[in-house]
Structure 1
Amino acid sequence: MSSRPRQILDLDAATVRRARTLARRAGKPVVDLARSHTTVSVERATLRLAGLAGADHENVPWVNHLVDAVREGVGLEHGVTLPVWDALRRGEAPDLLTLAQKAASGGVRFEVPQGKAATAAGRAGRTAIARGIRTIDRQRAARDRLIARHGNPPRKPWIYLIVATGDIYEDIPQAQAAAREGADIIAVIRSTGQSLLDFVPEGATREGYAGTYATQENFRLMRAALDETSKELGRYVRLTNYASGLCMPEIAALAGLERLDMMLNDSMYGILFRDINPIRTFVDQRFSRQVHARAGIIINTGEDNYLTTADAVDAAHTVTVSQLLNEYFAKEAGLENWQLGLGHAFEIDPTVKDSFRLELAHALLARQLFPEAPLKWMPPTKHMTGDIFRGYLLDGFFNLAGAMTGQGILLVGMMTEAVVTPWISDRDLALQNVRYVMDAAGGLTEDFHPPRDGLIQTRARQVLGEAVELLDTIVTDTSTAGVPPLLAAIADGTFGSMKRPPTKGKGLDGVVRKADGYLNPATDLLETGETR
């Protein structure tokens, strides 16, 4: 998917290996923590895979009702599968939906079965959940067929454009228009604050603020519309949404069921910028990435956000550290290189001397550290002033940097950033900017060779060296007994200048340590690759 420039930075191979080794050492204790815990959202996602959908008259999802009832009755230490399918086998209800409805009014008695009863309940739960996994498999196969029929975009990078009016029925024609104007990926940004909702809204929605709610029906509607446009244009148009926040596992499951192609899914974004509990986030992101791996979904990570709260020059190495950690967490969960849309951004203050040369150094470093990954390159936002002419020029420089360094996914910058939510005409002008630069300079990655030991090579090596130093500091820190070093670093404000301790944050009350005998067939099926 990515253009792969030759190794023109002369990075020291031993330093690169050490960076990955340190990232693995920093990440493994967090993975161990995620393996030993579950969350209410993981359990709700499991029920969604088993087919439980819908909501009550107050729009509270049935999965929330059922998980809450199980937790109140027997706890979640053993997961929901055993008590739920044991209740069904004991005749508490004829099906999963009726069980959830009865449980909402306190009309179900739950137990954690033992012996043969546990075996039978686990087998029945696995059968139901496996049907959802097979649906995800069929959707992945359908994507492959459509790509074979319609084709991929004829050039790289793929052009990524955001559409989000708040009304899904307004989003659809805007998304189709954007695709006709050249967008390869349509991202439907979520309504402000949805990441802090501990439930997934139901149905088609028309009232989002600065974005559109992520719901299963909205996913279905937009995917169907873009399938029509893909057929019209003769190229497969990809759809993106956000698997982050308190319902990360559930939204990942819904994305797999409805054939989304990419999902925003960063290992630390929710911790740093939404104050979601770190343990909750790492447990949820591991499960969500296992779903994405199975669904063939490309994840997009959020390193660009660090540079909105920290200086893009001083904190450049923290972006590299986060990319290395995201790579480790993603591969541990089963994602492949082609699914790693690691994030980085064009956010250096343009008044800084040699700012464009420094941007090239940072972009090349990311490109060469992750040569097989479809890196997601983010346009300027922090230093957009409302001067639309200056903004249009900055976006042109951003597009040029993408062309010169072989980025894989190029998010379209808007000259009206910091002024208004873009109009269709604004998006058209922005796409014209991209098309001009790519037509005029799209092959520059073949010709661009910064001089040996010049500013660009020297800066890239400096950032890599600082990243290794930071990772080494993280893994050797023993000042906080019993806390994984990475969690201690997050608590100290290492990333994005945000201090987030593991004992605080939203959603902590939804984290549960697994007991002996915990069972989740969804996790088992995702980890083994089995279908039944």
Structure 2
Amino acid sequence: MVSTGSTRKNKLDLDPTTVRQARSLARKAGKPIVDLAKKHTTVSVERATLRLAGLQGADADGTPWVNRLLDAVRADVGIEHGVALPVWDALLRGEADDLSVLAQKASAGSVRFRLPEGRDATRAQSAARRSVGAGVRRIDGRRKERERLVKRWGDPKQKPWIYLIVATGDIYEDIPQAQQAAREGADVIAVIRSTGQSLLDYVPEGATREGFAGTYATQENFRLMRAALDESSKELGRYVRLTNYASGLCMPEIASLAGLERLDMMLNDSMYGILFRDINPIRTFVDQRFSRQVHARAGIIINTGEDNYLTTADAVEAAHTVTVSQLLNEYFAKEAGLEDWQLGLGHAFEINPDLPDSFRMELAHALLARQLFPNAPLKWMPPTRHMTGDVFRGYMLDAFFNLVGALTGQGILLVGMMTEAVVTPWLSDRDLALQNVRYVLNAAGNLHEDFQPAPDGFIVERARQVLAESIDLLERIVHDSDKAGDPPLLAAIADGTFGLMKRPPQGGRGLDGVARKSAAYYNPASEILEDGR
């Protein structure tokens, strides 16, 4: 867990009634989305259920067996009833000895699925729950394993945790780079995904050696990197955390694989895929709720993506949309079972540095996030939008970013690169960036304990202004109704409220993979995750 220390003190003197109002409005805006999610399932939720039951591997063309099996079930009976009853009914009828053989036979067209009724349905439910429950228990075991290792090796002594991205496309090149980054001071290693993987409606299998601006997220890649960082943790005497991305069309599956392979953090934002990957909003919210339930069970910290709004919208004018998204992400996360210590809510240092008082505004925005979410390990993101290729200016901007992190007691600090958004950073760039972070954090020490903005001064007034604008926006979202009868938040997303991206609820990728649950719907994974047993 990330302690926020004395930053819990209300340095901005925020009115508690106003803060409660903001959270109440976020809950009102979010609840219709949760209700919508509970009434639907998706192909990825159902495939995640099969993965939790132990189905792995792929056919000769690289198509995962979970996809092949689900497609066969869907063709025969649809997915509105869930995959569990038809699949385990087929196993009980003797169609195959296990899931792997059943998937292969289904792919060849030699199995037909039905929706069982009566005693057959009861037997299929029990068998499915046993199989899927074994997978959830494996996730429970990996969580306990993490707790034991953290106790054995210890957590990093300093806060915030230093978060560094490593991704070459080749997992076997990523490993030595990640291990060296840990030796140089990184506490969290993020392996970003290959460009476009979020748009694949399947999870690749095995270790991968080619990627584009990142490395494919696969179960084997997760396993390899986690094992390598365990070696580094033992060597360094501190537990090094591993991050990947649970987003896109396979969000629930990747979340499940992360739990099974003991990843520690996952990028998991409620609206990122909608806004920046044009994935259908309903698909995203359904997948997101299931994935967060898995993260809650696995003890995984989520990182949200509010920083991305400021790459398309102005960081001053749109500052309140970041706060609104943070409040919504908090509501959705807690509804799914996540605790405060698992909420790595995102925000970023993206104000145009040429603006007068830009540093003071960055302080105001960062301190507002810290004060609104005092027990959450906020993820503070470095400048990218205004990086120009002038590496000296960029290095200075990153130092200012690091200083804001120290002044406001952020929980997770993503290392900025002087070549950010210009080229893929070299190893030497990472080393210099880590030197920058280490110098600032070491020199500043616990400076956040001494930092106190002037009452009613610029920083305090700017923070209050952003909070007031956030409440105004939430009130508009809650009180505006959509003619089609969709939840108001879907209408706000369609209007381009967040990140200037307009995404209608019936548009985007993946809508054909969404189904409204029938009265006979059954999913043992959802049942186990909902009741906590």
The interval holding the TM-score normalised by the smaller chain is over 0.9
Partner SS for 1:146? helix
Partner of 2:88 in structure 1?
85
Distance, in Å, in 2 between the alignment partners of 1:46 and 1:241 is: 20
- Which of 343, 352, 368 lines up with 1:340 in the alignment? 343
Distance in 2 separating the partners of 1:367 and 1:419: 30
Shift of 1:419: 2.6
Question: What residue number does 2:230 align with?
Answer: 227
Superposed displacement of residue 480, structure 1? 2.4
* 8 Å CA contact retained: 2:133, 2:525: yes
Supply the distance in 2 between the matched residues of 1:48 and 1:111 (Cα, whole angstroms). Answer: 21
The alignment partner of 1:161 has SS state of strand
Match of residue 466 from structure 1: 469
Q: Is the aligned partner of 1:22 residue 2:25?
A: yes
Which residue of 2 is the match for residue 374 of structure 1? 377
CA contact (8 A) 1:2 1:407 kept: no
1:512: how far off?
A: 0.4
Counterpart for residue 4 of structure 2: 3
Partner of 2:356: 353
Aligned to 1:147: 150
Counterpart secondary structure, 2:189: strand
Structure 1 residues 223-266: Cα deviation after superposition (integer angstroms, max 9, x where no partner): 00000000000000000000000000000000000000000000
- Aligned mates of 2:426, 2:384 — CA distance in 1: 17
Gap regions ≥5 residues in structure 2: none
Please name the residue that 1:483 is paired with. 486
Q: What residue identity is the alignment partner of 1:454?
A: G
Q: What is the 5 A alignment of 1:414-425? A: 414-425=417-428
- State which drifts further: 164-173 or 102-111: 102-111
Is 1:294 the counterpart of 2:297 in the alignment? yes
Q: How many angstroms apart in 2 are the aligned matches of 1:364 and 1:102?
A: 58
Stretch moving more, 415-424 or 48-57: 415-424
One of 517, 520, 523 as aligned partner of 1:517: 520
2:413 partner SS: strand
Offset from partner CA, 1:1-57 (integer Å, 9 cap, x none)? 132412110111111000000000000000000000000000000000000000000
AA aligned opposite 1:3: T
Q: Is the 8 A contact 1:2 1:406 kept in 2?
A: no
Which residue is 1:176 aligned to? 179
In the TM superposition, residue 204 of structure 1 has moved relative to its aligned partner by 0.1
Alpha-carbon distance between aligned partners in 2 of 1:47 and 1:469, rounded to the nearest angstrom: 44
Deviates more, 1:412-421 or 1:71-80: 412-421
Matched AA of 1:402: G
1:71-150 equivalences in 2 (<5 Å) = 71-150=74-153
CA distance in 1, matches of 2:55, 2:19: 46
Q: Distance in 1 between matches of 2:523 and 2:247?
A: 21
* Equivalent-residue separation in structure 1 for 2:483 and 2:311 (angstroms): 29
Structure 2: distance between partners of 1:53 and 1:481: 41
Whole-angstrom CA distance in 2 between matches of 1:189 and 1:254: 16
TM-score normalised over the length of structure 1: 0.99
RMSD (Å) for aligned C-alpha atoms: 0.6
TM-score calculated relative to the size of structure 2: 0.99
5+ residue gaps, structure 1: none
- 2:386 partner letter: H
1:434 aligns with 2:469: no
Q: For residues 405-436 of structure 1, what are the alpha-carbon distances to aligned partners after superposition, in whole Å with 9 as ceiling and x for unaligned?
A: 00000000000113321111111100000000
Letter in 2 for 1:140: R
Give, in whole Å, the separation in 2 of the partners of 1:280 and 1:495: 18
The answer to whether the aligner puts 1:158 opposite 2:172 as a matched pair is no
- Structure 1 moving runs of 4+ over 4 Å: none
1:450 is aligned, of 427, 446, 453, to: 453
- Kindly indicate whether the alpha-carbon contact (under 8 Å) linking 1:37 and 1:511 is maintained by their aligned counterparts in 2: yes
Q: Residues of 2 paired with 1:172 and 1:526: CA distance?
A: 33
* Partner of residue 203 from structure 1, selected from 180, 201, 206: 206
Q: Secondary structure at 1:130's aligned position in 2?
A: helix
Give yes or no for contact 1:404–1:442 (8 Å, CA) kept in 2: no
Partner of 1:47: 50
> Counterparts of 2:309 and 2:3 in 1: how far apart (Å)?
24
2:63 corresponds to which residue?
60
Residue-pair matches, total: 530
Contact 1:44 1:67 in 2 (8 A): yes
Partner of 2:284: 281
1:160 partner SS: strand
Deviation, 1:479, is 4.0
Q: Check conservation: 1:244, 1:266, Cα contact below 8 A.
A: yes
Q: Kindly provide the amino acid, as one letter, of the partner of residue 463 in structure 1.
A: V
Equivalent residue in structure 2 for 1:12, among 8, 12, 15? 15
- Counterpart code for 2:280: N
Using the TM superposition, give the Cα deviation of residue 107 of structure 1 relative to its aligned residue in structure 2, in angstroms: 1.0
CA 527–350 in structure 1, closer or farther in 2 if over 3 Å, else same: same
Other structure's SS at 2:468 match: helix
Task: Give the Cα–Cα distance (whole angstroms) in 2 for the partners of residues 262 and 454 of structure 1.
Answer: 37
Q: Distance in 1 between matches of 2:481 and 2:426?
A: 52
CA distance 1:528–1:479, shift in 2 (3 Å): closer
Q: Which letter does structure 1 place at the counterpart of 2:90?
A: A
Aligned twin of 1:323? 326
- How far 1:482 sits from its partner (Å)? 1.1
- Using the alignment, how far apart are the partners of 2:231 and 2:362 within structure 1? 38
Change (3 A) 1:479 1:96: closer
Query: Is 1:388 equivalent to 2:370 in the alignment?
Result: no
SS of equivalent residue, structure 2 residue 402: helix
- From 271, 280, 285, give the equivalent of 2:274: 271
What code does the residue aligned with 1:72 have? A
Q: Which amino acid aligns with 2:94?
A: G
Q: Does 422-431 or 209-218 show the bigger shift?
A: 422-431
Counterpart AA for 1:2: S
Q: Distance in 2 between matches of 1:181 and 1:58?
A: 41
8 Å contact kept, 1:23–1:321: yes
Cα separation, 2, equivalents of 1:442 and 1:311? 32
Q: 1:303: which partner in 2?
A: 306
CA–CA distance in structure 1, aligned partners of residues 505 and 419 of structure 2? 38
Alpha-carbon distance in structure 2 between the residues aligned to 1:122 and 1:443: 55
Residue aligned with 2:57, SS: coil
* Distance in structure 2 (CA, Å) of the matches to 1:437 and 1:309: 29
CA contact (8 A) 2:387 2:422 kept: no
Identity across matched positions, percent: 78
1:398 and 1:474 map into 2 onto residues whose CA distance is 32
